[in-house]
Amino acid sequence: MTLNFVRIAYAYDRTRYHPPEVSGKIATAIVAPVEEAFREPAFLELGVGTGRVGVPIVARGYRFVGVDVNPSMLEVMRYKIAGVGRKVKLLEADARSLPFERGSFHAVIGVHFWHLVEDWQRALLEAFRVLVPGGFLFEGWDTTTAASEDWRIQEKWREILNELGFQLERGRHQRRLAEVRQAMERIGLEPEEITVAEWVEDRSPRQSLEILGERLYSFTQKVPEDVFHASLERLWEWARDAYPDLDQSYPIRWSFVMRRTRLPE
Ligand SMILES: C[S@@+](CC[C@H](N)C(=O)[O-])C[C@H]1O[C@@H](n2cnc3c(N)ncnc32)[C@H](O)[C@@H]1O
């Protein structure tokens, strides 16, 4: 486990947290329908990460298994659930080849996950294999509902990258979610989408720049190292002119969307 992996795991939590009431609403949106359909349900989360979504489910005492290919993310989650995780297993495993029997779970969860798996079809088939008949697939994502200063800064960064000869690819996650939806509809499933929670995060331009600099967003990771550094240097220069106070916060309006799909019984 390299120090860099661990740094990313902690930085992930620092920059992508959900306020407690949002975490609670997400957990309720997942467990309520499953609880209604099954006694003592078992949950599996693919790409569980640091447990942003999983920990509140664990805290409610459910049987829960989380898999991830990054051991550092799992380590951070292990630390969080120490003492409350009696019915929990966290495994270093690939969602495309799950080490579980057919029909082992009543619900499978994947949040901010599909866009990271090129051959996502394999992971989707695996999710269906390990679900019981009538089981639920939950896919979730955070999205912003209005333009923000954070977005303006990202757009400026994209412009600078263009000037440096690099085309930034954005929107991969939303495109992938659409592909997954189409795949499910083609086999007669009926995914339902609901907004589960809305909240406002205050973020200063300095924080927006620092978060870009952490390279946590998947869209930042394909930029070659030298171009990345040059682009950020220019972005900081632009920001110092554009914002008289880099520490003044601006709102980002977030919502969490959940897509729920039930298998035939
Ligand atoms: C963007 S993070 C989201 C984590 C968590 N679901 C959340 O929303 O906070 C995606 C996670 O998926 C993991 N991941 C990527 N590819 C995977 C795969 N093939 N199988 C299992 N986990 C994977 C990454 O290591 C990372 O921890």
122-156 pLDDT, tens digit each: 999 999 999 999 999 999 999 997 789 999 999 99
217 within a domain of the structure (yes/no): no
Does 216 contact ligand 1 (Cβ within 6 A)?
A: no
* Rounded mean pLDDT, 21-38: 98
223 within a domain of the structure (yes/no): no
Mutate to test the pocket of ligand 1, among 113, 124, 177 (most ligand atoms within 8 A of CB): 113
pLDDT at residue 55, as a whole number: 96
Mutate to test the pocket of ligand 1, among 4, 15, 46, 116 (most ligand atoms within 8 A of CB): 116
From ligand 1's centre to the CA of 116, what distance in Å? 7
Does 172 contact ligand 1 (Cβ within 6 A)?
A: no
pLDDT in tens, 51-110: 999 999 999 999 999 999 999 999 999 999 998 877 899 999 999 999 999 999 999 999
pLDDT in tens, 97-109: 999 999 999 999 9
Does 67 contact ligand 1 (Cβ within 6 A)?
A: yes
Q: Residue 217 pLDDT more than 90?
A: no
Does 112 contact ligand 1 (Cβ within 6 A)?
A: yes
- Among protein residues, the one with the nearest Cα to ligand 1's atom 12 is 47
Does 122 contact ligand 1 (Cβ within 6 A)?
A: no
Tally of domains within the chain: 1
177 within a domain of the structure (yes/no): yes
pTM of the predicted structure, to 2 decimals: 0.93
83 within a domain of the structure (yes/no): yes
Does 113 contact ligand 1 (Cβ within 6 A)?
A: yes
Does 18 contact ligand 1 (Cβ within 6 A)?
A: no
* Rounded mean pLDDT, 159-175: 92
Q: Residue 1 pLDDT more than 50?
A: no
225 within a domain of the structure (yes/no): no
Other C-beta atoms lying within 10 Å of the C-beta of residue 124? 23
Give the separation between CA 104 and CA 18, rounded to whole angstroms.
29
206 within a domain of the structure (yes/no): no
CATH number of residue 96's parent domain: 3.40.50.150
162 within a domain of the structure (yes/no): no
Parent domain of 78:
3-146+171-201+253-262
Does 70 contact ligand 1 (Cβ within 6 A)?
A: yes
Does 137 contact ligand 1 (Cβ within 6 A)?
A: no
230 within a domain of the structure (yes/no): no
